Structure 1
Amino acid sequence: MKYKQSQRQEVQFTEEQEAAVQTFWQDYSRGVRTTYLVHGVTGSGKTEVYMEMIGRVVKAGRQAIVLIPEIALTYQTVLRFYGRFGDRVSILNSRLSAGERYDQIERIRRGEVDVMIGPRSALFAPFPDLGLIVIDEEHEPAYKSEKAPRYHARETALARAKMEGASVVLGSATPSLEAFYQCRNGRYTLLKLKNRAASQSLPDVYTVDMREELKHGNRSILSDRLKEMITERLWKKEQVMLFLNRRGYAGFVSCRSCGHVVKCPHCDVSLSAHRNGKMVCHYCGYEQPSIKKCPECGSGYIGGFKAGTQQIEDLVKQTFPGSRVLRMDLDTTKVKNGHERILSAFSNEEADILIGTQMIVKGHDFPNVTLVGVLAADLSLYSNDYQSAERTFQLLSQASGRAGRGKKRGEVVIQTYSPEHYSIRMAARQDYEGFYEEEMKYRQLMGYPPVDQLLAVWMTGSAEEHLKKAALYLKEFAARINRGGRLSVIGPSAPYVSKVSDQYRQILYIKSEAYRCLIEAKNLMEQYIEMNTGFDSLRIQFDFNPINTS
């Protein structure tokens, strides 16, 4: 894909941007190679800071790699880098053919490229004198490989930078707890951008309690307040984004009357509803029969959430006849250039309302969007994952950041059955550090990363009973090697998706305060597995600090 190089305009940095660049460059000029976290609110100009850092490193004769999640690697983003660095930029993404990828690698070998931009795989670009690795949106789960080898791009970047004498710059409006934890411990340098670059105000955020909507007779997924605000935007010829928060959704059961969510009594994660009439914890294996009435308030309005983007599109068209509606999800983006076509149409104001899942909230800049509605914020909040509150806070904050990026002030409506939950409250206030403090209390109490370390042992096999027996043997072995009580063993249990392509699945979790203890445990378990022929028909993988537990 060719990009036209635009005329570069002189950038006027804010004081915060200038301070971030100078901190980095003073260290770099003195030969200090370390890791930085650029924590900037949405619209604070993090990309301009990256490009200035990269420009100085390139001017010094070295090269840079910029990692961007595939979902955010848009034409708009790429064009900014071409405008600054011209043909000395190379792009890698999953849409390139094997031959096109080879051509880009050959350009690097010939010395024709200074900056490589792409998703996780771009980290392995064969630069001869790498000076800087930038990881934008570093909190994104896409940076962790879900297939062997199960590496995390952040940890791999740190290792490569150490070997090659390069610096690493991480950036996010909602940093991962792991990255911010390293800042608090003094291992990373924190660079803050507290204000939007063009001096726009952050949007006003309103939280709507959907339990109250039900009491008032509104059973629609659109609250009365959101409907009024959409009507106002349509009259003003402004645009609206409606975000359905489905990330991590795995059949949790909640009450629409009081908001109660049925949780595991042992693990503090939600139970998942299964078709066999049971609710199961996918961490420890605890299960109980499905329920017809809420155990908290007795209401019969208890069950799973079933609405999808297509149903919401139909409802919006019915509620606002004459409005121009676009939908962006896996179905509408399957065709080639599907993402670009939809985003381009919305950017050109060919539609009034854009409905979608998390792919619509990633790094897009639409100046005429003045209202963002978050539908069912609770869907990711109660997924059966210890990181669910963190994921929810990140998604709500990123979604809120799409509003008011132009000259007009933005507003956000968050619809939830849990307005009192700290992730909802802190996202509405755009208070990352407040969220961090609350979430770290939970992680410390339950012994989850980044406080403790977690090892997931994934086991798959075609014979279910044999797999379960092998998983129990492996648990017993883990208990035997637990000298001094340094390990905590949880499970085994079936994950939410317990069977894939006729292969049954089991998962065993092992926690420890020390990463090296998990390494030792993994090495001993591998030896045990190799010595016992009962494991020969099974596939077993080890995943440190897993992102996905389903």
Structure 2
Amino acid sequence: MEDVQIAEVLPLKLNLEQGFYYQIPLPLKDKAAVGKRVTIPFRNKKKVGIILDIFCESTIKELKEIEEILDPIPILSEAVLSLAKWITGYYLCSIGTIISHIIPAKVSPKKVISFLNDFPILNSILEEKNIGDGKLIKPILFHYYNIKERDLYYFQMIENAIQEGRQVLVLVPDQFSNSELKKKLVKKYGKYLVTFNQNVSSAQKYLRFLTVQSNDIKIVIGTRSSIFLPFRKLGLVIVEREESSLYKEERMPRYHAREVALARGLLESFQVILGSPAPSLESYRQGLNKNYILKTQKQQILTEQNKLLQTIFVDLEEEKSFQRVISYKLQELIAQCLREKKGIALFLNRRGFAGYIYCRKCGQVLKCLHCNSLMSYRKSGNRGLFICSKCGKKIEENWNCPTCGEKSLNPMGFGTQYVEDVIHRMFPKAAVQCFDSDTAPNIKTQQQILRKYKSGEIDVLIGTQLLINRLDFQHTALAGFILIDHLLNIPDYHSAENTFQLVLRVTSELREQKKAKILLIQTCQPEHHTLLALKEWNYSLFYQNEMALREELEYPPFSKIIKIGFIGADRELVRKEAQEFREFMEQSAISSLVGRSVLFRDDKLFRINEMGDSQICFLLKIKEQNKNFEEVRKLLHPFILKYKRNKVKLIIDIEPIKLY
């Protein structure tokens, strides 16, 4: 019995807090290792699991045996296992949830053999493993204004890491971001670099887990999930545009890749660089408090670039134009660009034709019968639709008011379709195209539209933030925000920060083109502190004003927020579960730690999605960050463990990006 080994195996795709013990049969003893996938008998079925630990003793008798070892090498390193355990504690999710999220479960042994035949990776596997030596390396917050200077700094840090025999991970918000940086890195490092995008098959994902352990791979460029790759010699992680909300995973386990990167840097003792032209307030505060090394590029470098970019702010309250959607100044600039055959991109953060429908007779606003949210108006070919922005319910246009019966409903507000209509009427010969999730719902359609814009077949693009994320500004001479107030007035404490970062991002793209460009911003709030800071391109001014507001209202970074949600098809069951949680808070010490910051909307507490589900949300705002935040998480943990997922799903979101 001395040769008997026991493995703790975690079955995948199950919400489990711990693994189960299995005996390792002698023929598999030399192949078994922590981090390898195995086939096990589980609840009268064959199940794929992963080995979490191996030891020689167990008090449990008559253990079942592992049936098959699926991997030639571990696809989950001990360092990533430690990181997964940190995530379970911080984000209040089970180890089963996070491990199942990280690794591919359904990859057949035949495909594994095929991979190894096509890519002889095993011959070049690195022997050294990442094990933290306990040395504390402070993260670097790199606040840059110039992309050229950013690239020089990144290349220097990457080269230093490679010279030390270490690997480098560059995180980007999505596969479309930082295309120029990717091209430069590929040009310099060629075959030593791989790029990993987000949406791939299980088989492709599995190949990544083998690839990064090769001695040939020095640099990986990837999106948020790449932070979990089992690097053997990771020495540097760069989180480019660290402020981006795309680093937040909106599904379980709802982690933030920036925070996970920082945690992994501490666990494995390597350098983490957070880069941004407009850092998140949380990160910048950490830099000012000396928790991060704050590296700020001198703003004087922008002098020459500023000469090529003309920035114009238009106060729509003083505008004499009859429709006040397109100001006289914007009309003049559009006409000039059309004459010179230069590209025009206009941004508006609202899809459709009109934001809501209003009755001129009785004053009622049309609301969704399903969820009581405002109905918007969108054109679809020759017909119109009333669409709920919350649950997505659609009904054919009917201009008779359901309250008074009169044919007096009128579309109010405006979206991208309305702006397109206005531009068409102003410039009938111009080729105008909308670019949002309605008109360009998939990548293929988006690429077709952008190719036409690049070739000059489309003169004017009108889009939401989707356009900003996809557009190559090289062919854009005029960029305009139709109404920046739509962004500033979103009911979310992030709205001012997000607006500042978005405009600064567009500005950076325009500056880098080394051609004369114009940025025009229309607003009804010219005295808003965000716009005043943008006029001077002064991040410090924005930071000071926004932080003063956050402190007064006790919002992050002066507090931390936990969102607790209950969602299900049965309204009464959802209400019952939410009420039980409310009672749990009152009976435990959570109420005293959170105080008045609990949000519980009792009259209109339901948000309903397209599937007809109802949802109730609590927002727990914890002011004294560290001690109270940890205490609240500890108190919530037993409730989460006991909660049974029957017909109502429990959602836990630590530091949510979306509050509602």
Cross-structure match for 1:206: 312
SS in 2 for 1:322: coil
Cross-structure match for 2:634: 523
CA distance in 2, matches of 1:273, 1:402: 40
Cross-structure match for 1:237: 341
RMSD value, Cα: 3.3
Cross-structure match for 1:103: 207
Cross-structure match for 1:478: 585
Report if aligned partners of 2:437, 2:466 keep a CA contact under 8 Å in 1.
no
Amino acid at match of 2:257: A
Assess, with a 3 A threshold, how the Cα gap between structure 1 residues 353 and 446 changes in structure 2: closer, same or farther.
Answer: same
TM-score (norm 2): 0.65
CA distance in 1, matches of 2:350, 2:609: 22
Cross-structure match for 2:656: 546
CA distance in 2, matches of 1:236, 1:85: 40
1:318 aligns with 2:425: yes
CA distance in 2, matches of 1:315, 1:502: 36
Deviation at 1:129, TM superposition (A): 0.6
Amino acid at match of 2:330: L
Structure 2 stretches of 5 or more lacking a match?
1-134, 359-364, 375-409
Cross-structure match for 1:164: 268
SS in 2 for 1:449: coil
CA distance in 2, matches of 1:390, 1:464: 35
CA distance in 1, matches of 2:150, 2:433: 29
Structure 1 stretches of 5 or more lacking a match?
1-30, 255-271, 281-301
Cross-structure match for 2:515: 408
Alignment counterpart, residue 143 of structure 1, candidates 247, 253, 262? 247
CA distance in 1, matches of 2:504, 2:205: 34
Deviation at 1:97, TM superposition (A): 3.3
Report if aligned partners of 2:177, 2:469 keep a CA contact under 8 Å in 1.
no
Deviation at 1:104, TM superposition (A): 3.3
1:52 aligns with 2:156: yes
Report if aligned partners of 1:459, 1:506 keep a CA contact under 8 Å in 2.
yes
CA distance in 2, matches of 1:58, 1:307: 49
Write the mapping of 1:326-345 to structure 2, written as runs, cut at 5 A.
Answer: 326-345=433-452
Once the two structures are overlaid, the 10-residue window that deviates more, 478-487 or 410-419, is: 478-487
Amino acid at match of 1:109: Q
Cross-structure match for 1:26: none
Assess, with a 3 A threshold, how the Cα gap between structure 1 residues 74 and 433 changes in structure 2: closer, same or farther.
Answer: closer
Once the two structures are overlaid, the 10-residue window that deviates more, 484-493 or 376-385, is: 484-493
Deviation at 1:529, TM superposition (A): 5.9
Amino acid at match of 1:167: Q
CA distance in 1, matches of 2:440, 2:591: 53
Cross-structure match for 1:505: 615
1:352 aligns with 2:459: yes
Assess, with a 3 A threshold, how the Cα gap between structure 1 residues 443 and 335 changes in structure 2: closer, same or farther.
Answer: closer
1:492 aligns with 2:597: no
SS in 2 for 1:527: helix
Cross-structure match for 1:307: 415
Assess, with a 3 A threshold, how the Cα gap between structure 1 residues 234 and 278 changes in structure 2: closer, same or farther.
Answer: same
Assess, with a 3 A threshold, how the Cα gap between structure 1 residues 527 and 124 changes in structure 2: closer, same or farther.
Answer: closer
CA distance in 1, matches of 2:157, 2:137: 13
Q: What's the CA shift string for 1:96-136, capped at 9, x where partnerless? A: 33333333332222333111111101111221010111111
Amino acid at match of 2:190: G
Report if aligned partners of 2:606, 2:614 keep a CA contact under 8 Å in 1.
no
CA distance in 2, matches of 1:166, 1:426: 35
CA distance in 2, matches of 1:544, 1:530: 16
CA distance in 1, matches of 2:441, 2:349: 20
Assess, with a 3 A threshold, how the Cα gap between structure 1 residues 402 and 78 changes in structure 2: closer, same or farther.
Answer: closer
Amino acid at match of 2:600: P
Deviation at 1:318, TM superposition (A): 3.3
Once the two structures are overlaid, the 10-residue window that deviates more, 334-343 or 118-127, is: 334-343
Amino acid at match of 1:156: V
Cross-structure match for 2:573: 466
Amino acid at match of 1:389: A
Assess, with a 3 A threshold, how the Cα gap between structure 1 residues 129 and 121 changes in structure 2: closer, same or farther.
Answer: same
Alignment counterpart, residue 218 of structure 1, candidates 299, 318, 322? 322
TM-score (norm 1): 0.78
Instruction: Detail structure 1 runs of 4+ shifted over 6 Å in the superposition.
Output: 250-254, 276-280
Q: What's the CA shift string for 1:311-352, capped at 9, x where partnerless? A: 433432332233344543224544444444444544455543
CA distance in 1, matches of 2:526, 2:303: 31
CA distance in 2, matches of 1:77, 1:329: 26
1:131 aligns with 2:240: no
Query: Greater RCO between the two (CA within 8 Å, min separation 6)?
Result: 1
Deviation at 1:74, TM superposition (A): 6.0
Report if aligned partners of 1:474, 1:525 keep a CA contact under 8 Å in 2.
no
CA distance in 2, matches of 1:134, 1:53: 9
Report if aligned partners of 1:178, 1:449 keep a CA contact under 8 Å in 2.
yes
* Identity percentage of aligned residues: 29
Report if aligned partners of 1:67, 1:122 keep a CA contact under 8 Å in 2.
yes
Cross-structure match for 2:170: 66
